[in-house]
Amino acid sequence: MRTLEEVQATLEIAKLKEEDLLSTVHCLSFGDNVSSADYCLMELDETLCKHIESGESLVIRGDKDERAVLCSSDKTYDLKIADTSNLLLVVPGCRTPDQLTDNQDSTHVVHTQIWGFCNSYWELRKQRPKLKKLKKLLMENPYEGPAIRGQEDNTENRYTMEDLLERIQASEEELKTHLETIHACRIDGYWRVLDFDYEMKLLGHVTQLVDSESWSFNKVPLHTSLEELAPLEPREMIEHCLNCYGKRYIESGEVFYALHEDRVCWGLALMLLQNAVKFNLKEFQDVWQQSVPEGMTTRLEQLKGVALVDRTSRPETISLLRVEDLPEDTVERFNHLFSLREKWTEDDITPYIQDLCGEKQTTGALLTKYARSSMQSGVKVFNSRRPVAT
């Protein structure tokens, strides 16, 4: 272990003035059996540091064939190894200059042992959660309604929240938000997504009841709805449908739902489009308007991200194209979109790339990076920067 005299001699050889340095000198030595494989270092921002210091945990998620991600309770981060030319030392108890009170006038030596070292560390970058796999897992066994008497319910491929957190690369909060987005519900402890035909059957029961009772779609009574529809479907499924397509509120002690016009119109449009490759736009709009409850108005803006209108064909057509069915990877997404249509207007393509935007990133920035713009008949359009296989 170095003495103060040896330290002073080293300073003299290095031509450093002792009065220019702090009076505390750390003398480092390697402990026994120290290896670079003993520790992994991770760089955390202030938010994640506070998260750890408050007793919360960080979880690394990913299957064997997936690139690992790090998740807090509400955010997902990409993990990337960053190499460094400087050797990073693990020194417990070592204090930085701003932590030293340094009240002593004379120079003194503090002997500190190195516990480990690294030539690299993990860098974290906030990224979108990878949720496409969630719908795929739940669609292995969609809920089609209560089992018919004499038939057993399919118990295979069912997932609890703990199962999903093991399989999906997303934080718990992001996972729960997406379960709500895809209208999943918890049945017998397992998360299930409804078979689309069954979901539309439930919505049909609700809208027909609203019409037959001449209720305002902004004031649908929960208790009466459950009483009227209980002979047709389980009460919890009717209430789940109301939660998916309406907003719950209480008035004079009674629970009501205000059906959300855009959601109801969206659902009934999907029902019409799912079995047709292309639909005559004018005919579709007529049938669509007739299918929604009285007082609701259908608009094409309600179908952004789920249906694509072709104004260049004669007659004009509309077809199903859901953003949730597109690739999650940005390059693959753009390649797929340009294989479907060579040139896109900004209004048409924006709903299909909006979810790709990172923090403080705009769709305009994505288009600048992955597409080339040009003018066509006075309208700006975007096409691929590279040849796309169709």
Instruction: State pLDDT tens for residues 206-223.
Output: 999 999 999 999 999 999
Give the least confident one: 64-78, 147-161, 359-373: 147-161
Residue 245 and residue 341 share a domain: no
Residue 166 CB neighbours (<10 A): 12
With a pLDDT cut of 90, the percent of the chain lying above it is 62
Rounded to whole angstroms, the Cα distance separating 386 from 315 reads 31
Residue 352 and residue 314 share a domain: yes
Residue 178 and residue 243 share a domain: no
Average pLDDT, the chain: 89
Query: What's the rounded mean pLDDT across residues 41-63?
Result: 90
Rounded to whole angstroms, the Cα distance separating 200 from 167 reads 29
Residue with tokens 């702090």: 22
Residue 284 lies in a domain: no
Residue 23 lies in a domain: yes
Residue 265 lies in a domain: no
Confidence of residue 231 (pLDDT cuts 50, 70, 90): very high
Residue 369 and residue 326 share a domain: yes
Identify the domain boundary among 259, 285, 307: 259
Residue 152 lies in a domain: no
Instruction: State pLDDT tens for residues 318-342.
Output: 999 999 999 999 999 999 999 999 9
Residue 74 lies in a domain: no
Residue 205 and residue 170 share a domain: no
Residue 300 and residue 235 share a domain: no
Rounded to whole angstroms, the Cα distance separating 158 from 155 reads 7
Query: What's the rounded mean pLDDT across residues 230-251?
Result: 96
Query: In this predicted structure, what is the pLDDT of residue 107?
Result: 76
Query: In this predicted structure, what is the pLDDT of residue 150?
Result: 54
Residue 201 and residue 189 share a domain: no
Instruction: State pLDDT tens for residues 59-113.
Output: 999 888 888 899 999 999 999 988 888 888 888 877 777 777 656 667 778 888 8
Half-sphere exposure of 135 (CA within 13 A, CB side): 17
How many domains are there within the chain?
4
Rounded to whole angstroms, the Cα distance separating 235 from 223 reads 10
Identify the domain boundary among 243, 259, 275: 259
Confidence of residue 140 (pLDDT cuts 50, 70, 90): very high
Query: In this predicted structure, what is the pLDDT of residue 277?
Result: 84
Residue 307 lies in a domain: yes
Residue 207 and residue 168 share a domain: no
Query: In this predicted structure, what is the pLDDT of residue 293?
Result: 87
Query: What's the rounded mean pLDDT across residues 158-186?
Result: 95
Residue 84 and residue 22 share a domain: yes
Confidence of residue 36 (pLDDT cuts 50, 70, 90): low
Residue 332 and residue 245 share a domain: no
Domain hosting 91: range is 4-55+79-97+105-122
Instruction: State pLDDT tens for residues 270-283.
Output: 999 988 889 999 99
